[in-house]
Structure 1
Amino acid sequence: VAAREGEARRIAAHEGVILSAALHPDGKRLLTGGDGGEIKIVSPSGDVETLASLRRWVDHVVASSASGVIVAGVGKEAVVFVQDKEAHRFAHASTLGGLALDAKGRRLAVSHYGGVTLRYALAADDKGVALKWAGSHLGVTLSPDADYVVTAMQENALHGWRLPEKIDLRMDGYPAKTRSFSWDKRGRWLATSGANAAIVWPFVGKLGPQGKPPLQPSEREALVTAVAFHPSEETLAIGYADGAALVVRFADETGMELDEPGEGAVTALAWSGDGKSIALGDDAGRGAIVDIA
């Protein structure tokens, strides 16, 4: 745990490996999912609570401050929590590839082999809407207005659907798999990792990015491994496989360096709510908080 001032502290939350993490709906604590099947709630003070003990490792955790819902991906099930208590579960035919909630925290997208299942997270009896496309679907993201669903495919491409018509969209040409997605606040742009520049697709009009070239800001030799849009501006933070990180503003294409190349790839980027600072972390265990304003 790190603050803008003072040293970082290590908090022992799990006996094994932490596989997933998300900000708790209260905006103050952290949710973590481990390979031991437990979901923990970690406070900045160092207090650790157990939200749930599940049968299998917790690969995915998402949460919404708007609805208060928490969803964990465990094997073939999406486990829904309300007010820190398990409410219900949604079962699927294959192992979950990813989870996503819309901006209101109401619509839940679950990716798996063969496509995506859409549900209303708080409706225990929701049978789901199937979005079908052959292949293995890994990560998934929902646009803020829930008009678009996009998944990362096994074969270094994205597949999307325009709702409610279920119009298929294809975005390919990536040299590596997309591991990181980020929408701007208005849902006009989707930034993605997996190339030597951030690949930023336009989502305007009835067919979104179909037939339109993406923006490709800040190209480098190293692959982009993490992206994160500013909470209110068309400004994008980009992290690279060589450990470098920067922020680029779309309006005038000006950039600001956040970190130089280091020992590990950037795996996490997160803006503060006011957009005045950003936290970053890499797979070598380093982390930093950088003031932007």
Structure 2
Amino acid sequence: MTTTAQSAGRATARPARSSRSRRRRNLVTLALLAPALLGLAIFFVYPLIASIYYSFTRFDLISPPQWIGLRNYEYLFTQDPNVWTATLNTLWFVVIWVPVKTGFALIVAGLLARARRASGVWRTIFYLPALVPPVASVVAFVFLFNPGTGPVNQVLAWFGIKGPLWFNDPAWSKPSLVLLGIWVMGDIMIIFLAALLDVPREQYEAASLDGASGVQKVRYVTLPSIAPVLLFAAVTGVIAAIQYFTEAAVASSVASGKAVVGEGIGSTLGYPDNSLLTYTQWLYVRGFGTYQLGYASALAVLLFVVAAIILLLLLRRFKAFTPEGAQ
């Protein structure tokens, strides 16, 4: 009888000790995660909630916020003269700039993965432009593509080709920034290169034995193997395009003859002819140029919602091409 009671007592104490140990582990885990959770709450959750609240107010950073309901959103969708221009320009960068830059980075990475001689030198050459500060790279490109004195048009003239106005032409200003994006593709190129070098050679050999062509090897071996890296490149590229600000602002400022971004912002904004006016530039101007923080918060909330929708669609689209999604 005593042995039975002792066994029952030990059986009862064991779950209690297990529960205390689990609580201790949870507390240790929370303590280790506390800095990250605190930073997330301070720098993401709170600003997001504050922006949503301010988007329903009239706020200029000086006077207390005044609740005005949906007026900011009504003005955004029906009356703002530049928001749709900025939105279309930003969408152009998402649809054109991201695929072109990603595609060229993947092609260059594929060529470097096949290189046999001086591969390290070529990798360094293609990666170095990514280390150039964005402002310096834009200023250099505006100088190189200057329609009057730039060396690019001078070289084209040697072949009897009349070069365009590049950053001074609304039709060529965004393609000029695409060329800049191709030049500084080294960051994503080096990631693609690591992914390509990590694809097992046995899979290519097996595909060759099955009679697969080069295109079929890329389609059925290379792309599925580097699908996570492609997803990473697409997501980060879309986020960068949606937030595209520095390069477009500096290009407009320098091409228009203003050496300082923000100097005479009314005349340089989106130069030429609003072709480089991006959504984040317009948000910045309404928030910190005219101090309409309530309306700028509405612009920011809309940007967050649209970016979240695009990224969710992108994630689902990529999942359809993975083996798990195919099943």
- With normalisation by structure 2, the TM-score equals 0.22
Structure showing the higher strand proportion among its residues:
1
Larger radius of gyration: 2
